[in-house]
Structure 1
Amino acid sequence: MHIYLHETIDPVRKPGAHTRYLDELGEIVTTHGNAKGSAGGRCIANWVPVFLTGQWPQIIGFWQMPGGWDGFAKHFDTHTELFHEPLDRWYGERSGGFDRVLVGTDYTPTLDEILASGTRAPVVLHETVRLRPGDAPKYLRLLGDVKEALGDRYGFGVLGGYEVAFRNQSEAVVVWSFPDVATLVRTQSSTAEFPELLAWREQSATLELSHTGVVVRPTSWSPLR
């Protein structure tokens, strides 16, 4: 079972703060993999919302946890400090954030599989879905059927589906991959062209309690770029 670390970061509302943060984080990711004292995740992407589609400025970090649940437990049992070491360094560029632990589905590619296949996702629709307690596995199972039905025929599809841990199976994160914004826009303006997608939206609406989507792009140093 593969575990992922998902963080929503709020940069300081000062000119250049978000750029400085991403520049420093990119240097760390490309040279060391991750910051000292952090949870040791391997970077899949750091995304920035396309403005007009969500809160700004904001950064979404997405990491794969080495060792799955065992790796998660080992890290936090051996790092018992309340705040990890790099926190003070980030205070100049970010004002806070919100973290999630995600459990990947069997149809979600790992970072190694993404790298091996050369998968790219220059434009992503990132969805956070709230469900009735216990419904996340069913929702994600149906999403897997949609991923298979779409295949490669349209040039876009489901990159991954994730259950949010510690939520009593009541929340999911879905990542859709698009080659460009024009293709994404067609799924909104010309839904009849994509019957599989239209059927999914009708089906998923019967399970969802709330649904928030934001369009994001990866940084230049993200593996998914």
Structure 2
Amino acid sequence: MTEANDKVYIHEFVDIIGHNRAAYMHHMTANWSPIAQDERNQQCYGVWGVVGTTRGWPQVVNLWEEDGFAGLARSFRHELGHASLQDPKLARWWSAAAALRSGGTDRVLVPASWTPTIGQLTAAHSGAPDCWAHEQVTVAPGTAADYLERARDEAAPAYAAHGWELVGGFTTAMRNDDEAFLLWRIPAWEQWGAAEAAASTDAALLKWRSRRLGLVEDFHRFLLVDAPLSPPRTGRQPRREDRTDWTDE
């Protein structure tokens, strides 16, 4: 049996300036992640472009894997233990990033025990799917973890019939246990379209939707596409040799 996931995650919605999304995704994977791996033992879980038709645009989602809250505390100390509240060695990196993004919203996420680590996810799958579905769900206070278990037991089998795989479930830390995120791996665009088209006719999907309506206060599913150097696409963490346009030397 796979060991329970004891990591925590930094989840970022990032707003991109103009046509800089590809440059920003490269800056985060090739230019940031190798440093974070070396200095903080922070792993890149994924960097994705948001499909603008399904959410705000241009936007990116980053997900970073930390060694539990103790690891995240070490990362905070490493980053914030300076008068500038930024690692001075990364001044040029921050400056380059600022030219590509206008802001964003971060969260600390706690995984459901069945959520794979990034190492387990890349070991189980070869190559990127066409897309991912990411669900942001608001539930009654105190019920976020219960919602994830219900989704795994009831939603996952219903969507599996259409080729979707539920690979991640997370609750948001430091709030009222009222927000959950799900991450679905969808091999082909056609499988996404078929499931959406069947939402009002497929008995299993209808059953889950009815159940969900009784549990949630707000629900938003949007689509993601892997960045070129995102680990679920490449099967590995980004490396220093992936850099093409920046260095911290």
Structure 1 residue aligned with 2:168: 160
Distance in 1 (alpha carbons) for counterparts of 2:41 and 2:103:
20
Structure 1 residue aligned with 2:71: 71
Counterpart residue identity of residue 4, structure 1: Y
TM-superposed CA distance for 1:71, in Å, is: 0.7
Aligned sequence identity (%): 26
Count residues in correspondence: 220
Structure 2 residue aligned with 1:22: 25
2:232 match: secondary structure: coil
TM-superposed CA distance for 1:182, in Å, is: 1.2
Structure 2 residue aligned with 1:10: 15
Comparing 94-103 and 152-161, the one that deviates more: 152-161
1:46–1:219 CA contact under 8 A, matched in 2: yes
Give the 5 Å matches for 1:83-122: 83-84=86-87, 85=90, 86-118=93-125, 120-122=128-130
- The alignment status of 1:51 with 2:22, answered yes or no, reads no
More helix by share: 2
Structure 2 residue aligned with 1:224: 232
1:33–1:43 CA contact under 8 A, matched in 2: no
TM-superposed CA distance for 1:18, in Å, is: 2.0
Counterpart residue identity of residue 72, structure 2: F
Distance in 2 (alpha carbons) for counterparts of 1:153 and 1:202:
18
Comparing 55-64 and 142-151, the one that deviates more: 142-151
| Cα offsets for 1:29-74 (capped at 9, x unmatched) | 67x253887x653112111122311111000011211x21111122
Counterpart residue identity of residue 94, structure 2: L
CA gap of 1:121–1:153, structure 2 versus 1, over 3 A, is same
> After TM superposition, which residue ranges in structure 1, 4 or more long, deviate above 6 angstroms?
none
Comparing 188-197 and 215-224, the one that deviates more: 188-197
| Cα offsets for 1:100-153 (capped at 9, x unmatched) | 111100111111111221254431111111111101011111112136635855
Distance in 2 (alpha carbons) for counterparts of 1:41 and 1:143:
28
Cα RMSD after superposing both structures:
2.4
Comparing 17-26 and 215-224, the one that deviates more: 17-26
Q: Structure 1, unaligned stretches of length 5 or more?
A: none
Q: Structure 2, unaligned stretches of length 5 or more?
A: 1-5, 234-249
CA gap of 1:135–1:189, structure 2 versus 1, over 3 A, is same
Structure 1 residue aligned with 2:36: 34
- The alignment status of 1:61 with 2:62, answered yes or no, reads yes
Q: TM-score, normalised by structure 1?
A: 0.87
